[in-house]
Amino acid sequence: MLSRVAENIFWMSRYMERTNIHLRNLQTLYIASQDGVPVISWETIYKEYNPGQKSAACTGDSEILQNIFFDNNLEYSLSNNILRARENARSAQDHITKELWQSLNDFYHQMRNPALKAQIANHDPITVFDQFIKQCMHYYGTVDNSMFRGEGFYFLRIGGFIERALQCILLLKRQLMISDISRPEQADPVSWRYLLISLSGYEYYLRANAGSFNVESMYNQILYEDHFPNSVAYSLYQTASFTKSLKKSNLEEQKDSIEFLLGKTIAYLKYNKPEPDTNSRLEFLTQLESGIHEIVQAFDRHYFKVAY
């Protein structure tokens, strides 16, 4: 497979994963605000999406959500994510299936549908969330059922799981800043519950910890639970597994370096227990994040941007 195409597929998958996680997180935050327990202010969220201040400031949940969804001047808006995913898919169109391309293309056209924009303005963002989340599910289903299990599929999966791990870390970091779990009296189990809901992990949590609302357990689930698909550990194990599949057909020196870095990062997650205070936990997460970025760089070096 062409290096450029492999990179396009990797990034297409990252943008789609990012979109999915952001959609679910925003939806939960919106529901929380409607429940009367706002986890974080919309203005703070808006700043996260608009780091370069390219887009004009705005206020109110509807206006902010509208911009986060549709404003192309907003660096990390969902429409920009989809646009980038689609541009990457366009460049790799001969290596993804026609069905997958059409699924992405549909998503793109939905993002440009003025009726959906109006729906947010009319205070009905849930319908818009539902529609886009359904489109994400369509994308995942199409990947699973139509993509040939070859290099393209492996790069797609690796990109997705790397992004998922990074997004989980970002969400955890934000959550730690909101709710200090080192002091149980200050920890806010409600906001942790919403975080788990946004990662589709609350039902799993209830089954494993019936009746108890322990924020430490919630934190551990997102970080370490290897049966929970939206945990950092699960994402890293899956990345390692798909990298191994890739290895069957690739050069020795490529896989060794990446495997080593993956092993190092997984070992760091598994065997390093940070001190229970928030700063140590944040530092730990930052280290983990750097480890994942190193893995991405190794993929760049060995697969995507090889110098000849």
For binding to another protein (CB under 8 A), which residues are involved? 1-6, 72, 83, 87, 90-91, 93-94, 98, 101-102, 105-106, 109, 151, 249-251, 303-304, 306, 308
Residues with Cβ within 8 Å of 211's Cβ and at least 6 positions away in sequence, in order, are: none
DSSP code of residue 186: T
Give 105 or 131: the residue with its C-beta nearer to another protein: 105
Least distance from another protein to the Cβ atom of residue 152, Å:
10
Give 234 or 299: the residue with its C-beta nearer to another protein: 299
Sign of CA dihedral 203, 21, 88, 137: positive
Give 55 or 93: the residue with its C-beta nearer to another protein: 93
Least distance from another protein to the Cβ atom of residue 111, Å:
11
**123 backbone φψ class: left, alpha, beta (φ>0; ψ -120 to 50):** left
Whole-angstrom distance, CA of residue 234 vs CA of residue 92: 27
Give 47 or 109: the residue with its C-beta nearer to another protein: 109
> What are the structure tokens assigned to 72, written together?
């192309």
Read off the amino acid at residue 125. Answer: P
For tokens 């369509």, the residue is: 138
Q: Are 185 and 169 in contact (CB under 8 A)?
A: no
Whole-angstrom distance, CA of residue 31 vs CA of residue 33: 5
Least distance from another protein to the Cβ atom of residue 296, Å:
15
Least distance from another protein to the Cβ atom of residue 3, Å:
5
Least distance from another protein to the Cβ atom of residue 291, Å:
23
Residues with Cβ within 8 Å of 56's Cβ and at least 6 positions away in sequence, in order, are: 73
Q: Are 194 and 28 in contact (CB under 8 A)?
A: yes
Give 185 or 252: the residue with its C-beta nearer to another protein: 252
Residue of 244, 278, 245, 274 lying closest to 259 (CA atoms): 244
Least distance from another protein to the Cβ atom of residue 87, Å:
7
Give 91 or 245: the residue with its C-beta nearer to another protein: 91
Give 2 or 137: the residue with its C-beta nearer to another protein: 2
Least distance from another protein to the Cβ atom of residue 116, Å:
16
Residue of 189, 174, 237, 144 lying closest to 22 (CA atoms): 174
